[in-house]
Chain A
Amino acid sequence: DAEITQSPRHKITETGRQVTLACHQTWNHNNMFWYRQDLGHGLRLIHYSYGVQDTNKGEVSDGYSVSRSNTEDLPLTLESAASSQTSVYFCASSRTTDMNTEAFFGQGTRLTVV
């Protein structure tokens, strides 16, 4: 079955370190998204991509970057981790041209920056 997987599921890192969270989907979806989930804020969009070599900033993109070198993967990099980036991160994907399409979410990565 097609799926979307995130790794690692849990990560503890130190302030200032670079961290990369992986997201891999097997639906061949063009659209991929990264969200962070924080209490009181719901899900906020970090970055998104509508295809290979395409990346766009979301509403909370500062301190994060993404790259899209193939259809299946959209890794999220924290350039210099900060305590404010402690959160649960969700990757999602959806088809690109169908306006009816819902998004499929990974199980999340819980990141703690100490």
Chain B
Amino acid sequence: AQSVAQPEDQVNVAEGNPLTVKCTYSVSGNPYLFWYVQYPNRGLQFLLKYITGDNLVKGSYGFEAEFNKSQTSFHLKKPSALVSDSALYFCAVRDDPRGSTLGRLYFGRGTQLTVWP
């Protein structure tokens, strides 16, 4: 079965510093990987995705993620954090759409990112 692990419940970083939010995955077949962000009292918003191609994926709001097949990781990164980046971040993996579950998303537990001024 597909699964996603986010090993850190919380990440704290000072504004202007680089940030990393970790994600590892387990899939059968090719991974389809996503990052979503949730601001307080809002639904999840799509940030970026890896389907195939370059291992470094660029997304919204200056975020990027690095796909590492050998380490089965898809860490979210940003070179310079902003206070407004403070939110809950979810990593997700999608089933192979050709399989029986037709592309369901499996989410990690989420990582609360706090960026202090």
Contact = CB atoms under 8 A, between A and B. Distances in A.
Interface residues of A, number: 27
Given A42-B90, A43-B90, A103 B107 contact: no
Contact of B32 (A33, A42, A96, A99): A99
Interface stretch (B10-18, B40-48, B64-72, B77-85): B40-48
A50 B102 contact: yes
Contacts of B105: 33, 45, 92, 103
Contacts of A103: 44, 46, 105
Interface residues of B, number: 25
B109 A42 contact: yes
Interface string A47-68: 0101000000010000000000
Contacts, number: 60
Nearest to B97: A99
A45 B106 CA distance: 8
Name which of B32, B43, B104 has the most chain A CB atoms within 10 A of its CB: B43
A26 B18 CA distance: 38
A107 B109 CA distance: 18
Interface of B: 6, 32, 34, 36, 41-46, 49, 51, 90, 94, 96-97, 102-110
Interface pairs A-B: 9 shortest CB-CB: A105-B43, A42-B109, A102-B46, A43-B107, A105-B44, A99-B97, A107-B43, A42-B110, A42-B107
